[in-house]
Amino acid sequence: MLYDQQGAGASHHIGASFERPIDLVHLARQTLGDRVLEQEILSLYLKQASTLIDRIEACTSSRERADMAHTLKGSSRAVGAWQVAQAAEAVEIAPPDQKSECARTIAALRTCVVAACETIADLQRAH
């Protein structure tokens, strides 16, 4: 994937669509237009994202939380869930000693994950 030149923390994909919770054009490129594969990947992502956000919220270790956020960021980028990826990156780099900032970034991540999961559920109902 090509990322912009903002540095190692850059989370914006060149040409990415941030308008919808899932960038379907990106997903189609990743799966070479295979609709069955898209649905399979989205089903796996739905389960993983739901599990990871629950674990991130319950986590007491800042290192483990950052690791789980990093995992969610990567899988979100793979499916084109750019808003989730950006929010996961914010959780990943949130200073562990700033509890209110950490809680705010986790809440924002939850909002993005819910939106992405609702979009996936809508797509699955349509198929």
What confidence tens digit (pLDDT) does each residue in 53-81 have? 999 999 999 999 999 999 999 999 999 99
- Rounded to two decimals, the pTM is 0.85
DSSP SS3 for 5:
coil
What confidence tens digit (pLDDT) does each residue in 81-99 have? 999 999 999 999 999 899 9
Residue 85's closest CA among 74, 96, 94, 98? 74
Domains of the chain: 24-126 (1.20.120)
Distance CA 106, CA 31 (A): 30
